Structure 1
Amino acid sequence: MNNVLITADRVILGPADQTISEGAVLIESGKVTVVGAAADLDGSVDARVPRLRCPGATLMPGLIDCHVHLAFDAGPDPIGAVLEAAPDELSIAMADRAAQMLAAGVTTVRDLGDRDSLAVALRDSIDSGTGTGPRIVAATAPLTSRGGHCGFLGGEVTTDDDIRAQIARNAAAGADLIKVMASGGALTPGGPRMWEAQFTPGQLRLIVEEAERHGLGVAAHAHGSETIAHCVAAGVRTLEHCSWRTAEGIVHDPGVIRRMVEDDVAVCRCVSGDWRLFLDQMGPERAKAMVEVILEMREAGVRFIAGTDAGVPGARFGDYVGMLEFFASLGFTHPEILDMATVNAAHALGLPDTGVLAPGKRADLIVVDGDPLTELGALRRIRHVFTAGWPVARQDLVVLGQVQSLVACPDDRLLR
């Protein structure tokens, strides 16, 4: 069923404030070809085209997770799990995790650090139709300092020549972008602390220039306030975490925030479904400061994009909506949040063919039970998933305990 007319109580076109009540989308040859009122399309579309009628449901663009690590297992020791797994074993596990994300309605993921370019191999398998999973945008091995954050993934560099060589290796391996660990992180024992820089401003500029020479953008893991400023000046496309940390606490720079807006640098805060525990661990004072800077960036017009950091300890692959609920708790509106997960994410990732439902776009879409514009929990009730126009079979969605994310739909009707 690659050609189908899908009707639902509402269609979210993207941005999320553009909707059609009693709407329909026609999919042909993997693309959206017509969007409009269900009554009009039902009468004008060839009667031989199958009809999928979904009463009580919302049809919308597929969700995008801008920050995942398919090679990690979300357990307490992801480093050990990655290093100890044989390549074949790890490849199978990554495919299972990707399938979990698809079951949660995520039709595109950006993998920001794996081992042995296994995410590229999985991407190619899915693209060729031999595997089932979301579209993958892969960074391969992230650039990091010697002994630095996530150095175990194979991207350690020291000199400018090292940087050029590693970027060339990543590009040759099929990377879709370059990831740089611009600051330290909490995952790697003995590495620089989260606010400490791993690269000089000149090296960050070199990384962006070399990546551009290979036709690639740069995503920067950046916790430190000074490092965030250097990354924005260097010209990175997205800032991962962007938590504005210093040795003394959380300190942000309004001038850097203004430049982020001017240069269209998107922010992926990388929030997992266990965000309540994370806030408790931060303590009330630091948590309050973190929330305040997020709201100030929002007020300034920073483009936020959705990402879970799935794979790091506690960040489960099937819990995408938990991350969205964090932003709702801060007062972000539901349309804002849905845009973070669709149209804004697609723009930041350089994917103009997805994120919205419009003629000529790739047919990555989901049908959910209820209305996510009024209840984000509707996104947990997945009825149907289409990727590049192909419906994902229900048995392919029921993996690794994900059956709870599927909704039995006795009222849905496939008519020919």
Structure 2
Amino acid sequence: MNVKLTNVRIITFHGEEVIEKGEVLFNEKGILGVGQQLGEGDSAIQEIDGTGMTLLPGLMDSHVHLGMDASPDPFASMKDEGPEEIALKAVQQGYQFLKAGITSVRNLGTRYNVDISYRNSVSSGAIVGPRVFAAGRPIVMTGGHGHVMAIEADGCDEVRKAARTQLKAGADLLKVMATGGVLTKGNEPGATQFSEEELRCVCQEAENASKTTAAHTIGTEGIKNAIRAGVTTIEHAYLLDEEAVELMLKKGTYLVPTLLAPRLILDKPGTVPDYMINKVKKIINDHKVSFQMAYKAGVPIAAGTDAGTPFNVPGLLVDELALMIEYGMTSFEAIYSATLGAARAIKMERELGSIQKGKIADLVVVKGNPLEDIECLREPVYVFANGRLVHQNTSHKKEELTV
């Protein structure tokens, strides 16, 4: 069935275009039309009056961990779980993402490649969930950050084998750990792990297969190793310096800052392990400075939450965007980082990220105007994925959809 939204504000992300009291016609094949007025309706179209509401592209969380339980010590929980338990968590989390208007997620590490299986089940229609761009198991050095869910490899030969193993398994992108991390006991967050040469080997394998790459990075040298090696996105980047920012600009490297994740850890003293608290305290102020440095320099940014880390439950993307705004972004820029900016980071901008004729109908309708108040995004009225209604806020009684 065709659906037409009328009298709705449309943030198209086609340039800076915002259409007031516009219309969008769509179905499961995609967006059929966008404009001020699309013509007369007919019996084959279900119309929804969007007065007082805003339509925008479905949101994308560019850094999540499906199946990681957001407990105080997620790696400790994960190491004792089988693939079935992790898969069940992923299915439950998928519903939470959709409820929050997040129609796509980029998954950057899950044990047993559960995210790849989950993606396939969503794609086939076996289950309802967000569109998934899956990395499967990350690639780490022996004993490296996140080794509980990863492929451990050392030296270019092993790293290439690991990369090819993940590509064979169906990974959409490859995730590597270029430095230590907060959640892994015994790892120093700023410590360099993979060498530039090892990282380059992963990037070459991804490029050969027309795939993208993402690198977990905290320390400055590890960040620069990853950028020089050719990774597509730098994750976290707590300790940027001017040289790193210049390299990112030169190579077109994206930043996914995940500003929210360490804040949630610090908010729970006495709950998460002390070693995590101590690590975060040393670097959290640098994280803000690094983000602001990159933003002011014009580094392209995609929004991600690191969902699955302590107390970082699915659906907190609005909190991440609010921090970006607090640290200097405009509301338009912040939402762009979770729509077209995120799509560009994974080379999917021809299909996702803006409201244009011919694109996939991943759409979110919210009350009010999120360009004036980002909190408007917190409780979507309608969420459509592939043109199908996947969530409706039942407290909103103006239109009851049957599609």
Task: Tell me which residue corresponds to 1:364.
Answer: 362
Structure 1 residue 334, shift from structure 2 partner? 0.4
| Cα distance, 1:18 vs structure 2 | 1.5
Cα 1:374/1:16, change in 2 over 3 Å: farther
Letter in 1 for 2:326: S
CA contact (8 A) 1:113 1:139 kept: yes
Secondary structure at 2:21 match in 1 = strand
Flag as ranges the 4+ runs of structure 1 deviating above 6 A.
Answer: 279-285
Match of 2:103 among 90, 102, 107: 107
The aligned amino acid for 1:214 is A
Partner of residue 252 from structure 2, selected from 264, 277, 281: 264
Deviation at 1:356, TM superposition (A): 0.3
- Distance, in Å, in 1 between the alignment partners of 2:78 and 2:91 is 14
1:290 partnered with 2:287: yes
CA distance in 2, matches of 1:201, 1:257: 17
1:411 and 2:398 matched: yes
Q: Partner residue of 2:309?
A: 312
- 2:234 corresponds to which residue? 239
> Counterpart of 1:208?
203
Cα separation, partners in 2 of 1:339 and 1:104, compared to 1, 3 Å = same
Q: Which amino acid aligns with 1:52?
A: I
Question: Paired residue for 1:33?
Answer: 32
In structure 2, C-alpha distance between the alignment counterparts of 1:316 and 1:187, rounded to whole Å: 16
Contact 1:232 1:259 in 2 (8 A): yes
Contact 2:26/2:361 (8 A) holds in 1: yes
Identify which of structures 1 and 2 has the higher relative contact order when contacts are C-alpha pairs closer than 8 Å and 6+ apart.
Answer: 1
Deviation at 1:16, TM superposition (A): 7.5
Matches of 1:214 and 1:306, distance apart in 2: 25
Q: Is the 8 A contact 2:383 2:390 kept in 1?
A: yes
Asked if structure 2 preserves the Cα contact closer than 8 Å seen for 1:12 and 1:60, the reply is yes
Deviations 1:30-67 (A, max 9, x none): 31121001xx2142x54531112222111110110000
Picking from 194, 200, 204, the partner of 1:199 is 194
Summarize deviations over 1:168-221 as a string: whole Å, max 9, x none: 110111100000001110111123x11111111111111111221222211011
Distance 2:150 2:47 in 1: 49
Q: 1:286 to 1:309 in 2, by over 3 A?
A: closer
User: Residue 370 of structure 1: CA displacement?
Assistant: 1.1
| 8 Å Cα contact 1:369/1:407 also seen in 2 | no
TM-score after normalising by structure 1: 0.89
Aligned twin of 2:51: 55
CA distance in 1, matches of 2:101, 2:316: 10
Q: Say whether residues 1:346 and 2:346 are aligned partners.
A: no
- SS of the aligned residue for 1:312 comes to coil
Q: Tell me, yes or no, if the aligned pair for 1:72 and 1:82 is still in contact at 8 Å.
A: yes
What is the total number of aligned residue pairs between the two structures? Answer: 393
Distance in 2, matches of 1:295 and 1:376, equals 19
Q: Does 1:160 align with 2:169?
A: no
How far has the Cα of 1:15 moved from its partner? 5.1
| Inter-CA distance 298–78: structure 2 relative to 1 (3 Å threshold) | same
Label 1:407 to 1:254 Cα distance change in 2 as closer, same or farther (>3 A): farther
Taking the aligned partners of 1:150 and 1:258, their CA distance within structure 2 comes to 29
Q: Residues 373, 273 of structure 1: CA spacing in aligned structure 2 closer, same or farther, 3 A cutoff?
A: farther
Taking the aligned partners of 2:148 and 2:43, their CA distance within structure 1 comes to 56
| Aligned equivalent of 1:389 | 387
Of the structure 1 ranges 322-331 and 369-378, higher mean CA displacement relative to structure 2 is found in 322-331
Q: Does structure 2 conserve the Cα–Cα contact (< 8 Å) formed by 1:327 and 1:337? A: yes
Q: List aligned pairs for 1:216-235, cutoff 5 A.
A: 216-235=211-230
CA displacement 1:46-96 (0-9 Å, x = unmatched):
453111222211111011000000121000121132222232222111110
| Distance of 1:259 and 1:168 partners within structure 2 | 27
- Residue ranges of structure 2 left out of the alignment (5+ in a row): 270-276
3-state SS, counterpart of residue 363 of structure 1: coil
The residue number in structure 2 matching 1:64 is 60
**1:55 alignment partner, SS class:** coil
**In 1, Cα distance between the equivalents of 2:402 and 2:289?**
51
The amino acid that maps onto 2:397 is: P
Say whether 1:337 aligns with 2:337: no
Of 274-283 and 319-328, more deviation after overlay is shown by 274-283
Deviation at 1:390, TM superposition (A): 0.9
Q: Which residue of 1 aligns with 2:11?
A: 12
| Kept in 1: contact 2:238–2:284 (CA 8 A) | no
Give, in whole Å, the separation in 2 of the partners of 1:162 and 1:259.
Answer: 27
Q: Over residues 346-396 of structure 1, what are the superposed CA-to-partner deviations in whole Å (9 max), with x where a residue is unaligned?
A: 0001112100000111110100111100011100121111101111154xx
- The amino acid of 1:340's aligned partner reads S
SS at match of 1:10: strand
- Evaluate the alpha carbon distance shift between residue 164 and residue 276 of structure 1 in structure 2; reply closer, same or farther with a 3 A threshold: closer
Listed as ranges, the gaps of 5+ residues in structure 1 are 245-251, 395-405
Q: CA deviation at 1:28?
A: 3.0
2:175 is the counterpart of 1:179: yes
Q: Distance in 2 between matches of 1:327 and 1:278?
A: 18
Q: CA RMSD in A?
A: 2.2
Q: Is the 8 A contact 1:75 1:312 kept in 2?
A: yes
Give the counterpart letter for 1:166 in structure 2. Answer: A
Instruction: Find the residue that maps to 2:361 and give its secondary structure.
Output: coil
**Secondary structure, aligned partner of 2:111:** coil
